Amino acid sequence: MSQPATKVLVIGYVWPEPRSSAASGHVMQILETFLRQGWQVTFASPAGTGEHRADLTALGIQEVPIELNNSSFDVFISELAPDIVLFDQFMIEEQFGWRVEKHCPDALRVLETSDLQSLRHARHQRLKDRLKLSDDANDFQGLFAPALAEEFELMAETDLAKREIAALYRCDLNLMISPVEIELLVQQFKLPPELLHWCPLMVEPLGTPSKPFEEREHFLSIGNFRHAPNWDAVLWLKTTVWPLIREQLPKAQLHVYGAYTPPKATALHNASQGFHIMNWAEDALQVMSDARICLAPLRFGAGIKGKLIDAMLCGTPSVTTPIGAEGMHTDHLWPGAVTQSARAFADAAVQLYKDEGLWQTAQTQGSTLLRDRYQQSIHGPALIEKIEYCREHLAQLRKNNFTGSMLRHHAHKSTQYMAQWIEAKNRNK
């Protein structure tokens, strides 16, 4: 008799929109990995539906809307009885972790982090402080080169870090997209390495030749406008970087794409300056394939960057900062340039745009980097192997993680009582 299919419940912070954000793209890659394994997948979320959401039912995934602070979830998860529960972002674990543990105590609890949010927020604060101290919008070398111990100092006193690190401890396994963040958590926050698994963006080659140099034109920048690092990058492009590029290439054009374009972004459009706000791209890979250079001037952020993976897939060289390239290339040469000032960024972008030999070398470096670090055929099976190992040794892993058990004991009680109070209050309205 064959064994019943493993049942997986994924609780999403939002319904996946893989054409709007790299975070949603990563969730979709994980879902597809589960489906390839023959697992039965259910996706639930308390969020409203976005206009670009993926059709999960077409993939064979059951979709279930759920509510925050509502015991209807208890009935739902008890009936589903999943073997594995994956929380998409730590706030979802905060909301639903105690309910999962109460009704499905033997289910493996996995957290998908997308990026370390407390690191991203600490870096954002550092940028704000830097801009208050200096009106020089060109050189950010000091901003881009902190040691991990300095990052820890920025994060350690914040409520966000305490909440996020506690959620990591409370789970049996945490999927980390960046090896730099694993290093930070292990070396500075002293998390046990066995709680963490490197699961980067997982892709395969497109299967079609990349467009050659002479068939491409224009610079491109792309990213969800709701993501603060992307909006800051657009502003830095507009005010500082792009004018330096236009000094050398007076007829150059920059096409800026992004989901959920706000009026403040549309207001930046200026055709006479070659600065074009293009709104949402129906096919991000198509517009990336048509561009000659991808620009990603990120001054803060965390995780790894989907736009730069897309650039490599499309054979499009990129220019970025140490924040943009962090955790993405180790000993590999970057497929373009990594710079620390607006002037160096602009100079590198212009050189790549004009020099076909340099451009072709960067394109080749991108293909090598993708093959060596981001293949789905490598990371997908590795993820399944890690999950199966954790399920097989779950009792011992939980004994070893006494800190997590202690945090669950205290945090879940307070969360449970707060949730029950909110539910009772809502009933009495």
**Per-state percent for the chain, helix, strand, coil, to nearest 5:** 55, 15, 35
Question: Can you list the alpha helix ranges (DSSP code H) found in 41-82?
Answer: 72-80
Confidence of residue 292 (pLDDT cuts 50, 70, 90): very high
Taking CA atoms, 382 is separated from 7, 26, 168, 197, 283, in Å, by 19, 15, 20, 9, 30
Burial class (CB in 10 A: 0-12, 13-18, 19+), 66: middle
* 302 and 236 within one domain: yes
Residues 81 and 230 reside in one and the same domain: no
Return the axis-axis angle of helices 159-170 and 402-427, rounded to nearest 10°: 110
Q: Are residues 339 and 230 in the same domain?
A: yes
Could you list the residue range(s) of the whole structural domain that residue 219 is in? 213-373
Are 163 and 94 a contacting pair, CB within 8 Å? Answer: yes
**312 and 383 together in one domain:** no
Identify whether residues 161 and 246 lie together within a single domain. Answer: no
Q: Are residues 330 and 395 in the same domain?
A: no
Q: Is the pLDDT of residue 354 over 70?
A: yes
Domain limit, last residue, from 356, 373, 390: 373
- Strands of the sheet containing 318-320, edge to edge, are 275-279, 254-257, 219-222, 293-296, 318-320, 336-338
Instruction: Say how far apart CA 137 and CA 336 lie, in whole Å.
Output: 23
Beta strand residue intervals within 26-177, DSSP E: 40-45, 62-65, 84-88, 108-112, 173-176
More confident: 264 or 415: 264
Band of pLDDT at residue 87, cut at 50, 70 and 90: very high
CATH number of the domain within which 334 lies:
3.40.50.2000
Judged against a pLDDT cut of 80, whether residue 2 lies above it is answered with no
Is there a single domain that holds both residue 194 and residue 341?
Answer: no
User: What span, in angstroms and rounded, lies between the C-alpha atoms of 330 and 196?
Assistant: 19
Q: Per-residue confidence at 414, pLDDT binned at 50, 70, 90?
A: low
Give the pLDDT confidence of 194-212 residue by residue, as tens digits.
999 999 999 998 878 899 9
pTM (two decimals): 0.93
